Amino acid sequence: MVSVLRPDSDASNPRRWSLLAGGYAFACGAITAGLLSTLLSLFAEVVGLPPSFPVPLLAAPALLVGTAVWWLLVERRATYTYPAGIAFGALTALVTGLCWTAWFLVVWSVDLLAAGPTPLLVGLVFALTTAAGALIGPPIVFARRRYGAR
């Protein structure tokens, strides 16, 4: 039996890899949120998310952000390098954190974000999530280099 593949359905399709990278970023975010669920359930309550289902909701922006960042940094430029993967993970985590900070500002205000030790805490969270995000990039670059050669 002969299998007919469309030209855009092969393993090197940039759109497919961008979606895969976004799904991978979402999965990593959901696993991390699941591990930190006791702490993050408080954040979810503060920003008005349902307390019974916060883990996928907290990781949801990573799906869109990860897809866009992968496309911009890796696929569009065809740079399948580990530094590009590290940048993908770090920027995905950082922009996802910025999305949630913006939502926090919508729900509360700038006054609460600037009050007391909050800026220090937010900075620490951004630093830790960006560092953790940098760790998720190299495995997806490895997969892209190994299984998606052009």
pLDDT digits (tens, 9 = 90+) for 57-95: 889 999 999 999 999 999 999 999 999 999 999 999 999
pTM score, whole prediction: 0.86
**Mean pLDDT, the chain, whole residue set:** 87
pLDDT at 124 over 60: yes
Kindly give, in sequence order, each residue whose CB lies less than 8 Å from that of residue 138, ignoring residues fewer than 6 positions away: 82, 85, 86, 89
Contact present, 44 and 51 (Cβ < 8 Å)? yes
The tokens for 146 are 């190994």
pLDDT of residue 89: 97
Per cent of the chain over pLDDT 90 is 53
Question: For the chain, how big is the Rg over CA atoms in Å?
Answer: 18
Contact present, 26 and 66 (Cβ < 8 Å)? yes
pLDDT digits (tens, 9 = 90+) for 17-31: 999 999 999 999 999
List, as one string, the DSSP characters of the chain: -PPP--GGGSTT-HHHHHHHHHHHHHHHHHHHHHHTHHHHHHHHHHTT--TTSHHHHHHHHHHHHHHHHHIIIIITTT---HHHHHHHHHHHHHHHHHHHHHHHHHHS-HHHHHSTTHHHHHHHHHHHHHHHHHHHHHHHHHHHHHH---
